[in-house]
Amino acid sequence: EDQVTQSPEALRLQEGESSSLNCSYTVSGLRGLFWYRQDPGKGPEFLFTLYSAGEEKEKERLKATLTKKESFLHITAPKPEDSATYLCAVLPGNEKLTFGTGTRLTIIP
């Protein structure tokens, strides 16, 4: 069974304090790993797709990396507007996304 585990469940950082969110997974035939941002009361917003181990992608203060067992979302010098829940999802061979439960990130000014 495909599984995605995100840690920590919640993370509070001071503005400017860099950190990483973890997404560990077990999946049969990974076709892609996705990161989304979700603000309260809204639908998830697509951030990145990673396809193979060693791949990295960046967007503003966010950088996503992928290994064969996990992905990290690194956030550098975060700002209060980066506060959100970050979701990870894996796409296995059956093409049905499996989502983690998310990390709720709070950036304190």
Partner 1 sequence: DAGITQSPRHKVTETGTPVTLRCHQTENHRYMYWYRQDPGHGLRLIHYSYGVKDTDKGEVSDGYSVSRSKTEDFLLTLESATSSQTSVYFCAIGDWGGHKFFGPGTRLTVL
Q: How far apart (Å, rounded) are the C-alpha atoms in residues 21 and 90?
A: 16
Only one of the segments 13-21, 34-42, 57-65, 69-77 lies at the binding site for partner 1 (rule: CB under 8 A); that segment is 34-42
Pick the binder of partner 1 from 23, 84, 102, 107 (CB under 8 A): 102
Q: Is 95 in the site for partner 1 (CB under 8 A)?
A: yes
> Which one, 78 or 85, has the nearer CB to partner 1?
85
Q: Is 109 in the site for partner 1 (CB under 8 A)?
A: no
- Quick count: other Cβ atoms within 10 Å of Cβ 72? 18
Full DSSP string of 71-108: EEEEE-S--GGG-EEEEEEEE-TT---EE---EEEEEE
Q: By the criterion CB under 8 A, which residues form the site for partner 1?
A: 4, 31-32, 34, 36, 41-46, 49, 87, 89, 91, 95-102
